[in-house]
Amino acid sequence: MNNALQKPVLTIRDLRLAFGDRRHQTPVLHGISLHIQPGEKVALVGESGSGKSVTARLAMGLLQDSKRTHVSGSIWFDGIDAAKGGPEIARRRGNRVAMIFQDPTSALNPTFKIRGQFRDVLRSGDRSISKDEADRRAEAALAEVSIPDPKRALDSYAFQLSGGMNQRVMIAMSLANRPQLLIADEPGTALDVTVQAQTLNLMHELTEKTGTSVLLISHNLGVVREFADRVYVIYRGRIVEHGTTAQLFNDPRHPYTRALLAAIPKISGGGLPDLPERSPEFENPLITHEGCGEPAEALS
Amino acid sequence: MSNILRSLLHRLGAALIVMIGISMLIFAIARVMPGDPARIALGPNATAEQVAALRLERHLDASLPVQYWEFVKSLATGDLGKSLYTNRPVTTDIAQFLPATLELVFVSGILMVLIGLPLGILSAHFRGRFPDHVGRLISLLGVCTPAFVWGVILQLVFGYFWGWFPIEGRLLEGTPIPPGPTGFYLIDMAMAGNGAGFLDALHHLILPALALAMSGLGQTARLTRSNMNEVYDRPYVEMARAYGFPARRIATRYAFRPALIPTLTILGLEFAAMLGNAFLVEKVFGWPGLSRYGVEVILRKDLDAIVGTVLVIAAAFLIVNIIVDILVNVINPRIRLAAGRA
């Protein structure tokens, strides 16, 4: 990890978020900082409600339009500050940054065939693309994710395809415009485990090939260990531990990370350890492993 | 395609059963209403013998089942009986008045869709902002103000104060009534190549059609708005945003079509309800339509005419519903494809 030489793809600095009106605000994020290098796969791990999904949505500029969200801090991506939301980041969605969702079947529109939606995905990369050209590229993209009959898949509705197929379609859509950054929000959590593993491998393989950086949002430590180069652990809106995957899994230092790792069921038995749901220890300050600091001059 | 045909046949069969039920019901209801139809028809000066003769002629002394059997027998030959009041065959009366009502209702339905749906889309697209407030105000006023009040308001403002539109009738005095064949003046004028007549008919149609459309229009806008707001929270709309689909395209396609499916069913009911509501509007605008005829014959206890009018309106209601069902099937791929498998 040579942070000094490369310019990160995504740099989040002291990101704070609160929901609510002016008088009653519920803070959700308390100053998140993280960065992703080109080609790097970074995981953001935490339990439900820890703020990992909203972080991803803020990075895409999807929440900022609402009057009820209050954002401060910065999200540097592709030369702009995405924390402000607005048309600058909107223009980059679908082509510079793309997203994969929890349940691929419900993330595809049930009243339009895949073909029409794929065309619109490709249009966000190239506004003037012709229908024939779009269809040709869509077929190629579907072939790339090992869909046996791309033409038939394009002429199907999402509900006619299996969950695994839809996930492949989603992956093909997300990478079709060769984005710099792919945000995967608990990808395939709604799928069964073998299909989930297959599609994660596929995603891993393709992003390696295209050099796309990945921000993986997950609560599944097994997936994170397989997939990510570096891990941020998030707890109640704060990053509590940050290190490479090996450092974090071999030498968890923060009490919350230890509790999280202890919660993985083991085949050797013994049942789940008795873990507290909350503990003042979990709020301990951030622990950063050796060589993993936030790049200092990336604020530019 | 064959599954759509099959579901059409299925629905037609169901509609036939409904029609039989309605005919029995209205037949019985018309006859248990107080008052002697023969006496009402002949007036207070008629003698008892004349009344008795008319009752005999119309089988009014027979039992209900026998009367119904007579009615069904003549219905099979396309005869709906004779109006006691106009003394003409009921089918002739209906053929005269029905086209005016249908023309009014169709144009209202078109206005309802063409104004209501975009209003709902705008409200949902600009949720919580100015266009949404305006859209909601219009639709709320539309829903909560009765059609005849709208009729009077529109007449006052656009007919009387500003004089933009005529207040009464289907054509200007002196404009020759088009010879046919449909009885829809817009179509007849167009077919006769009479441009001035067409504009005249349209000119007369707009105010009553708008008055009749307002409540359905408001309902349509409200439903479209709420269904679309629900759809906006679905993952596939978030996906559309996350992939940079233009907001306008999301509003008019990706959020609109899923929201249209539940809206369309209600829209069909609103459209059918216009057939009944048309009476008030026809009254206000002096529109010579079937709804007005229907109420007049009920007040006169004109048995055959009541039954005939109700049956025709019921048939129109059922036809509209069948059309809406088919449209829903066409729009919703899930139903369309499931019907193919069944």
Closest CA to B261 of B179, B329, B174, B188: B329
Chain B: give the shortest CA distance to residue A137, in Å: 16
Residue A4 has pLDDT above 60, yes or no: no
Q: How far is CA B270 from the centre of its chain?
A: 8
Chain B: give the shortest CA distance to residue A99, in Å: 7
Do the Cβ atoms of B257 and B187 come closer than 8 Å? no
- Cβ of B242 within 8 Å of Cβ of A159? The answer is no
Placement of tokens 């679309």 in the chain:
B228
Which pair of tokens denotes residue B286? Answer: 């002096």
Residue A110 contacts B, CB cutoff 8 Å: yes
Compare CB distances from A94 to B244, B257, B333 and report the shortest one's residue: B244
Chain A: give the shortest CA distance to residue B273, in Å: 29
Residue B333 contacts A, CB cutoff 8 Å: yes
Least confidently predicted of A142-151, A265-274, B3-12: A265-274
B82 DSSP assignment:
B
Do the Cβ atoms of A227 and A204 come closer than 8 Å? yes
Chain B: give the shortest CA distance to residue A221, in Å: 25
Compare CB distances from B236 to A95, A108, A160 and report the shortest one's residue: A108
Helices (H), A2-113: 52-59, 87-92
Residue A74 contacts B, CB cutoff 8 Å: no
Euclidean distance between CA atoms A292 and A290, whole angstroms: 6
Residue B257 contacts A, CB cutoff 8 Å: yes
Residue A78 contacts B, CB cutoff 8 Å: no
| Chain A residues near residue B245 by CB distance under 8 angstroms | 94, 120-121, 124
Do the Cβ atoms of B329 and B4 come closer than 8 Å? yes
Residue B337 contacts A, CB cutoff 8 Å: yes
> ∠ CA B233-B237-B242 to the nearest 5 degrees?
115
Length of chain A: 300
Residue A131 has pLDDT above 90, yes or no: yes
Q: How many CA atoms lie within 13 A of B17 on its CB side?
A: 5
Res. A284 pLDDT band, cuts 50 70 90: confident
Measured in degrees and rounded to the nearest 5, phi and psi for residue A117 equal -70, -40
pLDDT per 10-residue tile (average), chain B, 342 residues:
76 91 88 78 80 80 83 83 83 89 91 94 91 93 90 89 84 73 80 82 90 92 94 93 93 92 86 83 88 83 86 88 84 72 43
Residue A206 has pLDDT above 60, yes or no: yes
Euclidean distance between CA atoms B232 and B241, whole angstroms: 10
Compare CB distances from B242 to A94, A159, A160 and report the shortest one's residue: A94
The ipTM is 0.89
pLDDT of residue A1: 46
Do the Cβ atoms of A243 and A230 come closer than 8 Å? yes
pLDDT of residue A271: 65
Chain A: give the shortest CA distance to residue B337, in Å: 9
Compare CB distances from A62 to B236, B242, B257 and report the shortest one's residue: B242
Residue A87 contacts B, CB cutoff 8 Å: no
Residue A259 has pLDDT above 80, yes or no: yes
Euclidean distance between CA atoms B300 and B36, whole angstroms: 10
Chain B: give the shortest CA distance to residue A93, in Å: 5
Burial class (CB in 10 A: 0-12, 13-18, 19+), B220: buried
- Cβ of B334 within 8 Å of Cβ of A159? The answer is yes
- Cβ of A157 within 8 Å of Cβ of B128? The answer is no
- Cβ of A112 within 8 Å of Cβ of B253? The answer is yes
CA-based max dimension of chain A: 60
Euclidean distance between CA atoms A182 and A101, whole angstroms: 11
| Chain B residues near residue A98 by CB distance under 8 angstroms | 242-243
Residue-averaged pLDDT of chain A = 89
What is the H or E stretch that residue A25 is in?
strand A25-36
pLDDT of residue B341: 47
Residue A72 contacts B, CB cutoff 8 Å: no
pLDDT of residue B96: 87
Chain B residue with CA closest to A108: the answer is B236
Euclidean distance between CA atoms A53 and A57, whole angstroms: 6
Euclidean distance between CA atoms A165 and A161, whole angstroms: 6
Residue B312 contacts A, CB cutoff 8 Å: no
Euclidean distance between CA atoms B291 and B269, whole angstroms: 17
Euclidean distance between CA atoms B241 and B112, whole angstroms: 30
- Cβ of B244 within 8 Å of Cβ of A91? The answer is yes
Chain A residue with CA closest to B336: the answer is A111
Chain B: give the shortest CA distance to residue A109, in Å: 5
pTM, full prediction: 0.82
Residue B40 contacts A, CB cutoff 8 Å: no
pLDDT of residue A247: 93
Chain A: give the shortest CA distance to residue B331, in Å: 8
Least confidently predicted of A4-18, A92-106, A269-283: A269-283
